[in-house]
Amino acid sequence: MPAPRLVGGPSAGAALTTALLALFSNATINESVVITGMIMPDTLVGPVGGIPEKLEAAASVGAKLMIIPAGREVRR
């Protein structure tokens, strides 16, 4: 398994928010699911770039599902 990489920037907002909600509600997180998106001032999840690269990175660590902000289109 590859070494963990640092996660940061606006794209990590949804993941960090999900992790905090899970921590405070004593919920478990499915490690085969990843999420990306910035948290907007109105609390909605906003768009991020680099979706194809993020999909590739997620697959490389065994993710089975990636949640991306609504309205984002992935083309190959």
Residue 36 lies in a domain: yes
Higher pLDDT, 76 or 66: 66
Residue 24 lies in a domain: yes
**Among all residues, which ones are annotated catalytic?**
11, 54
* Domain region containing 61: 10-67
Assess contact for 40 and 10: CB atoms under 8 A: no
Residue 74 lies in a domain: no
**Looking at the whole model, is its pTM more than 0.85?**
no
* Nearest alpha-carbon partner for 66 in 32, 20, 38, 40: 32
* Per-residue pLDDT at 65 exceeds 90: yes
Q: Chain-centre distance of CA 2, in angstroms? A: 18
For the chain, the straight-line distance linking the first and the last C-alpha, in angstroms and rounded, comes to 26
* Per-residue pLDDT at 1 exceeds 70: no
Residue 38 lies in a domain: yes
pLDDT per residue as tens digits for the range 3-25: 556 667 889 999 999 999 999 99
Assess contact for 15 and 35: CB atoms under 8 A: yes
Number of domains in the chain: 1
pLDDT per residue as tens digits for the range 21-63: 999 999 999 999 999 999 999 999 999 988 999 999 999 999 9
Residue 1 lies in a domain: no
Looking at the DSSP bridge assignments, the partners of residue 65 are 33
Residue 76 lies in a domain: no
